[in-house]
Amino acid sequence: MTRDVFLNADGVEFANAAAKTFTIDNDATDRAFDADTVAVAELADVVATLIKDLEALFPGNFITTTS
């Protein structure tokens, strides 16, 4: 049995993980939504914001932006 996730001195390492990036178009920064009345487009903006926030913490790992 092989392990794909390791904890080391630098944090978490994903073995055998090919680098994947996201391309985000037409997004708006959105860090809040009403869980009872949310629209798909609003959730998409929240996900885009989350990906951009992760990219800010770990540059070069998550996104290629076009907007």
pLDDT at position 20, please? 66
Q: Where are the domains of the chain?
A: 5-65
| pLDDT (0 to 100) of residue 62 | 66
**Residue 49's closest CA among 27, 25, 20?**
27
Residue in the block written with tokens 């996201």? 22
**pLDDT for residue 59:** 77
Is 0.85 surpassed by the pTM of this model? no
CB-based contact 21:55 (threshold 8 Å): no
Residue 26: per-residue pLDDT: 84
Could you give the CA distance from residue 46 to residue 52 in angstroms, rounded to a whole number?
10
Return the pLDDT at 54.
Answer: 84
49 vs 57: CA distance, rounded Å: 13
- Mean pLDDT, each 10-residue run in order, the chain (67 residues): 64 65 82 87 88 82 60
